[in-house]
């Protein structure tokens, strides 16, 4: 099956080609809760529009890239829970997610309009998560919420819309209150990185301090999602030629000397600056492409966002936990000081946190495994999210192919070792598999 989708009028995206095998059937409908309409009766328009706005917010918040994965987990959960009561046979995630013991419930027998519920829920959670957004973006949240409400009033009685909006907002408020207990607001001591051979240290040109050194201690969304996912220890530090550590770094240098234009383009594509920020925004933008290409109903889009956001959040936490356990130095320091190439530079500046494992690779592995559960293992597509920047699109034969090539792009960029990328990819996949086994949507 082939689809050529023209995304005219949609934020930042142009034509998109997808080739898919059969979509995974998630829906086994059962009895309802007395509501006249079900979530599956509505298009995914409300989800698409709020994701588009969230991407605009992410683009404007360069100081928050490593937190985006966690934010997406809360936003995705909010969308799903705001429409889940209209999905017969599907379960709430309350009582399943770590520390989320209960959530508000709709009134049995009363009619709800699920797009109105989702609209109010997403407006509320984005206001809370991005409280530091610009005044213009806050106005955009208000404008989108009001525009959709006006659209819905053409078909929905005012009392039904109000009841639905009140329910959606109550879900968002409860989830934001839950988010406050995840460790974000803990007061941690000033981080002092360990010092020693082979350990991470600030890198040129900015020599920035370590980013989010305590992120790995946050509460995961799914209890036990990190069990058995830790990567093996990297090679012991050595400056001896042909030692495993020496060879691991020398590969990065050797690759940098023979980069093709295509490899350089791939490296820059996943820099995400300017762009959608590497801590999850890139994958949210790709997920929006998947939703637009598949043109599903609201129930499928809500499940896709919840699964993707939760996987990204826990993969980010798991990756950062390991980064600050091993504190492995970045290639630039070894290449300049040990391999004696003092003028060497990567394709772009090295991010200020330890090398092992690769964050982009871990997140890529997690979403690849998650999207396989939604769309199958042989779903090919071309990533067009940076067409607006004039970057060449990136084609992938499958979700796994995407994750592998993302890892390769970090080596091409000169900011990660191959081992950091392959083990990060594997870690992300294991985390997503744990989530898939533990979190029951139906």
- How far lies 7's CA from each of 32, 272, 292, 385, in Å? 34, 21, 8, 11
Q: Angle 174-109-300 (CA atoms, 0-180°, nearest 5)?
A: 60
Tell me the helices (H) and strands (E) count for the chain, helix number first: 13, 4
* Cβ–Cβ under 8 Å, residues 366 and 310: no
The predicted-structure confidence for 298-352, as pLDDT tens digits, reads as follows: 999 999 999 999 999 999 999 999 999 999 999 999 999 999 999 999 999 999 9
Can you give the pLDDT of all 442 residues of the chain as single tens digits?
333 222 222 333 333 444 444 454 554 433 344 345 899 999 999 999 999 999 999 988 654 556 778 999 999 999 999 999 999 999 999 999 999 999 999 999 999 999 999 999 999 999 999 998 899 999 999 999 999 999 999 999 999 999 999 999 999 999 999 999 999 888 999 999 999 999 999 999 999 999 999 999 999 999 999 999 999 999 999 999 999 999 999 999 999 999 999 999 999 999 998 888 767 899 999 999 999 999 999 999 999 999 999 999 999 999 999 999 999 999 999 999 999 999 999 999 999 999 999 999 999 999 999 999 999 999 999 999 999 999 999 999 999 999 999 999 999 999 999 999 999 999 999 999 999 999 999 9
Q: Measure the CA–CA gap between 276 and 272, rounded to whole angstroms.
A: 6
Q: Give, in words, the CATH class of 2-23+38-186+200-438.
A: mainly alpha
The model carries a pTM of 0.93
**Distance from the first to the final alpha carbon of the chain:** 27
Backbone angles phi, psi at 362, to 5 degrees: -65, -45
Identify the CA nearest to 41 among candidates 113, 102, 138.
113
């Amino acid at each position: 099956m082939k689809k050529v989708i023209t995304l005219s009028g949609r934020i930042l995206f142009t034509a998109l080609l997808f080739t898919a095998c059969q979509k995974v059937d998630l829906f086994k409908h059962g009895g309802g809760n007395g509501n006249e309409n079900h979530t599956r009766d509505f298009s995914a328009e409300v989800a698409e529009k709020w994701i588009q706005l969230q991407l605009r917010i992410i683009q404007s918040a360069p100081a928050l890239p490593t937190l985006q994965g966690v934010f997406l987990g809360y936003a995705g959960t909010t969308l799903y829970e705001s429409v889940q009561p209209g999905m017969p046979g599907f379960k709430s995630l309350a009582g399943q997610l770590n520390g989320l013991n209960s959530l508000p419930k709709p009134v049995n027998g009363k009619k709800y309009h699920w797009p109105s519920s989702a609209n109010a829920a997403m407006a509320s959670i984005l206001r809370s998560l991005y409280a530091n957004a610009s005044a213009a973006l806050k106005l955009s949240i208000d404008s989108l919420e009001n525009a959709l409400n006006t659209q819905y009033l053409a078909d929905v009685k005012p009392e039904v819309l109000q009841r639905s909006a009140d329910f959606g907002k109550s879900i968002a408020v409860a989830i934001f209150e839950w988010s406050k207990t995840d460790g974000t607001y803990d007061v941690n001591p000033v981080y002092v990185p360990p010092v020693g051979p082979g350990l991470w240290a600030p890198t040129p040109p900015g020599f920035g301090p370590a980013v989010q050194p305590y992120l790995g201690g946050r509460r995961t969304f799914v209890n036990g999602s990190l069990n058995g996912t830790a990567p093996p220890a990297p090679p012991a530090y050595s400056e001896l030629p042909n030692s495993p550590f020496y060879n691991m770094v020398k590969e990065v240098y050797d690759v940098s000397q023979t980069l093709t234009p295509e490899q350089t383009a791939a490296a820059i594509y996943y820099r995400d600056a300017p762009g959608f920020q590497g801590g999850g925004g890139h994958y949210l933008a790709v997920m929006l492409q998947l939703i637009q290409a598949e043109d599903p109903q609201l129930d499928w889009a809500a499940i896709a966002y919840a699964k993707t956001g939760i996987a990204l959040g826990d993969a980010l936490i798991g990756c950062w936990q390991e980064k600050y356990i091993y504190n492995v130095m970045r290639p630039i320091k070894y290449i300049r000081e040990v391999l004696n190439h003092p003028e060497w530079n990567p394709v772009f500046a090295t991010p200020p946190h330890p090398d092992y494992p690769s964050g982009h690779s871990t997140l890529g592995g997690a979403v690849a495994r998650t999207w396989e559960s939604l769309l199958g293992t042989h779903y090919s597509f071309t990533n067009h999210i940076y067409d607006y920047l004039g970057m060449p699109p990136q084609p992938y034969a499958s979700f796994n192919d995407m994750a592998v090539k993302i890892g390769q792009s970090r080596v091409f960029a000169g900011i990660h070792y191959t081992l950091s990328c392959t083990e990060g990819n594997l870690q992300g996949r294991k985390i997503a598999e744990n989530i898939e086994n533990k979190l029951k949507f139906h």
